[in-house]
Structure 1
């Protein structure tokens, strides 16, 4: 008895406890559809229509209702951070989360931009640039998903943060210097949106080229292996045929000659001479 627990001794009763203690263990045990990460994603999806109604209430210019809309938008942005962190930390990644999470992100941001532009608070070209970039990158991810996955870059995360801060400032009814500040924050977000979008395009092109090159190399290797197998099979068949022919010749050739040698007679002696000699011996005996 060493007094060590089973997990330390490496026994069969070892139990791995994930980070977070009981909360982590509970999260791992419920890694189905209804886990905490997916629930937060669903909450963010449900916040989209509520946010729109709050923002457009009373014509969209009531500071109080816009403050409520800002609160709903802030909750949506915070849940976006937490659901991804929980999914990665406690292995709660599901197919539903992979699809619903980016949809929820684009839905809340797109709704805010369209509503602000419809109210005249935000130029339509800004909304168009941001939405075009987000939709284009999403389609590009599907374009290269067979070859590889475009990882989220640090610039993309900074872009998302800048967009969230800028849109949140526009949702609030700000005036004076704060209104000027929010314009420059939004310009920063637009620049980051364009720059990171171009970087994603570059990554997508590189990943697709690498994937296609790898597929061609694998196809050529498979053809070479198949050809080598066929050649080995043909060589083996020819070798077997030669062995059969050699065996057949070895059986036929030594049949007559060794028998003649065993009698002490020269190989190839005419048959007539052997018959005459036999007759002479008989007459001599008589």
Structure 2
């Protein structure tokens, strides 16, 4: 029963064919993808030593995060969910976060092990999504939403050129983001496995009912009445 509450109904899982591919949510997703190379150039320019470029990179990062916040929400509320959007949205997210993390590590601002742990989690969750997609959709947890917010804040603070105490303090925000990243990743693995088991039991039960046929069901009613 627990697995059932973890699975959110997804009325937009099979979007109607009348939904147009060219719409506002998809445009925001494509815009976020287009921002990734611009962000990378600004972040890495002059070895990250140009403070003005770092500030511009932070601005582009924030704008991209805003599009991530609204494209899915608009698509669901207006019934503009498309197969393209469902595929491109997570790709755009991972491209932005991955580029930011790798860029910060290349500049020596963030330890490589932090980047590896976060990217392994993000890629792993994406693979799990495709693994369970035919069994259902797992609702985003509060922990997952908190992870996204704290992770984005931490990365943003690393992009901005800081010195002294603020530079030291941002590590604790990144540590919190790292902890949430690992914990929510483990939670997603558990819920994905639970969803598959629940779905498999339901399919076996349905197959058994079909195999029993009308006569089997009728017999069961007769036995009960007797």
Report the TM-score, using the length of structure 2 for normalisation.
0.85
Is residue 162 from structure 1 mapped to residue 150 from structure 2 by the alignment?
yes
Aligned 1:238-277 pairs, distance under 5 A: none
Distance in 2, Cα, partners of 1:73 & 1:95: 25
Superimposed CA distance per residue, residues 132-179 of structure 1 (whole angstroms, 9 cap, x where no aligned partner): 001111111111112111111111111001110000000111111110
Is residue 216 from structure 1 mapped to residue 198 from structure 2 by the alignment?
no
Distance in 2, Cα, partners of 1:31 & 1:149: 21
Secondary structure at the aligned position of 1:150 is classed as coil
Return the offset for 1:222. Answer: 1.3
Q: Which moved more, 1:189-198 or 1:58-67?
A: 58-67
**Which one has more relative contact order, counting CA pairs under 8 Å at least 6 apart?**
2
Is residue 207 from structure 1 mapped to residue 195 from structure 2 by the alignment?
yes
Aligned 1:52-63 pairs, distance under 5 A: 52-63=40-51
Return the offset for 1:212. Answer: 0.6
Is residue 144 from structure 1 mapped to residue 168 from structure 2 by the alignment?
no
Distance in 1, Cα, partners of 2:70 & 2:203: 38
Distance in 2, Cα, partners of 1:183 & 1:75: 23
Distance in 2, Cα, partners of 1:222 & 1:181: 62
Q: In the alignment, which residue of structure 1 is the partner of 2:78? A: 90
Aligned 1:73-222 pairs, distance under 5 A: 73-222=61-210
Return the offset for 1:227. Answer: 7.1
Aligned 1:20-35 pairs, distance under 5 A: 31-35=19-23
Return the offset for 1:228. Answer: 4.7
Return the offset for 1:114. Answer: 0.4
Distance in 1, Cα, partners of 2:85 & 2:203: 30
Return the offset for 1:226. Answer: 7.3
Distance in 2, Cα, partners of 1:181 & 1:193: 19
C-alpha RMSD over aligned residues = 1.6
Secondary structure at the aligned position of 1:165 is classed as helix
Return the offset for 1:112. Answer: 0.3
Shift >6 Å, 4+ stretches: none
Gap regions ≥5 residues in structure 1 = 1-29, 232-286
| Corresponding pairs, count | 201
Superimposed CA distance per residue, residues 59-114 of structure 1 (whole angstroms, 9 cap, x where no aligned partner): 22211111111111010001111112211221111111101111101100000000
Return the offset for 1:57. Answer: 0.8
Distance in 2, Cα, partners of 1:75 & 1:110: 16
Gap regions ≥5 residues in structure 2 = 1-17, 220-226
Distance in 2, Cα, partners of 1:148 & 1:78: 27
Whichever of the two has the greater Rg, that structure is 1
Report the TM-score, using the length of structure 1 for normalisation.
0.68
